[in-house]
Amino acid sequence: MNTNLLSRRGLLGAALGGAAALALGAPASASPRAHRPRVLVATNEPWGTYHVRPLLAEAARRGWRLTQLVPDLSAIAPGDPVPVATPADAPAADLLVVTGAGDWPADCAAHFRRLPLVASSLAYHQPVQAPRAAELRRRLRSITSSSPAESRAFARHLGTRRPIRVVGSPQTDDLPPRRPEADLVLVLTSVTHPDGTGGAAPGTELLLASAEKLAAAGKRILVGLHPREDRTLWERYEISEVPSVTASARAEVAVGIPGTVFPLVAAVGTPLVGCVDPALTVPDYLLAVCSSTIGDAGEAEAAVAGAALPEPAVLADAVGPVGGSARRLLDAWSRAIPAAH
């Protein structure tokens, strides 16, 4: 049994306390029935199948069919395990899940206007109301997010004061045991160049310069590449072949541009240093899990040397409950489907 995982669950659960219990309610099981739910998912990053991938195992266990809606197949890699379809070719469905109120989810909601609608945050959102949020609010049967902190940002993104069910992140359902290797630093990238598949975050030049400083100081650099990042920018270093959350278990410290993965890396037990460009705007909770933030590459070595985890209450607020998150999320979706429970 993974005692590291048990201790992390205990730490996060204790710090989250009664607020999480109220948000989550009693765990529920999907009701057995002849018809298995068919769910369409539309994400703010239209081709971002990596948001849906952590749900496939739980969906298969239940016999559910998940299909991600995409504008076309141009950015879908051969062999991608996530079933995809355009709205015109989408299979019959019982539920539409949107991961935000961006243009693509809103367009899909308008196209499938008769389907029950749920909003589930699977990545961070800016805590300001999205221009098209009003198109979704009246139809929403349920809203979920990964953590209490994320739920506050998601509520502002949707422009709602409705309760949001905190379910945890499916990426924390199987956290790796932490076995840090001496002098290994994980560099967590964002996306340097925006394109049709999604936006970008500033700070790559600062992160590249910081990696160079750390390498010169004798650190081994392992790059956790964002799925949409330009790989050629980082080929001088070892690029992890496993997801960044998994790779973080090997690192003494992670350094990167704060994003959705930051609380998950902290949940593994790896301290974080944030590279913060003046133009970067992210929710405060992503900065709160950082041991420190730097705005100059010359600060990187000292920041890494002194890196530590945040206080347990801060961690629990940003991470949410650990273990069983995919189950809780699909339970919440099930409740929104007529006659599904």
Provide the CATH number for the domain around residue 267. Answer: 3.40.50.2000
State the 10-residue block means of pLDDT for the chain, 341 residues long. Answer: 41 38 33 73 92 96 98 93 98 97 97 98 95 97 98 98 97 95 94 50 82 96 81 87 95 95 97 92 95 96 98 98 97 89 50
Q: Please report the pLDDT score of residue 76 as a whole number.
A: 93
Residue 264 lies in a domain: yes
Q: Examine the domain organization and report whether 307 and 326 are in the same domain.
A: no
β-bridge mates for residue 145, sequence order: 166
The continuous run of DSSP H or E covering 304 comes out as: helix 300-305
User: How many angstroms separate the CA atoms of 134 and 139, rounded?
Assistant: 10
Residue 258 pLDDT: 93
> Which residue has 């959705």 as its token pair?
260
Residue 84, SS3 per DSSP: strand
**Quick one: 309 and 258 in the same domain?**
yes
Specify if 291 maps to a domain.
yes
Regarding whether 128 and 270 lie in a shared domain, the answer is no
163 and 202 part of one domain: no
pTM, entire model = 0.85
Residue 295 has φ and ψ, to the nearest 5°, of -120, 5
Whether residue 324 sits in one domain with residue 288: no
Partners of 239 in the beta sheet? 223
- DSSP state letter for 299: G
85: exposed, middle or buried (Cβ count in 10 Å: 0-12, 13-18, 19+): middle
List, as own/partner pairs, every contact residues 202-206 make where C-beta atoms lie below 8 angstroms and the sequence separation is at least 24, other chains included. Answer: 202/277, 202/279, 202/280, 203/257, 203/275, 203/276, 203/277, 203/279, 203/280, 204/233, 204/257, 206/275, 206/276, 206/277, 206/294, 206/295, 206/296, 206/297
Answer whether residue 341 is part of any domain.
no
Residues 16 and 113 in one domain: yes
Pair 140, 243 in one domain: no
What pLDDT shows up at residue 30?
37
Residue written as token pair 């199987």: 174
Q: Rounded CA gap, 237 and 25, in Å? A: 45
Read off the tokens for 90.
Answer: 């989408």
The pLDDT score that the predictor gives to residue 226 is 74
* Burial of residue 65 (number of CB atoms within 10 Å: 0-12, 13-18, 19+): middle
The CB density around residue 340, as the number of other CB atoms within 10 Å, is: 18
Based on the structure, what is the number of domains in the chain?
2
In angstroms, the CA 91 to CA 99 distance is: 19
Owning domain of residue 286: 184-314
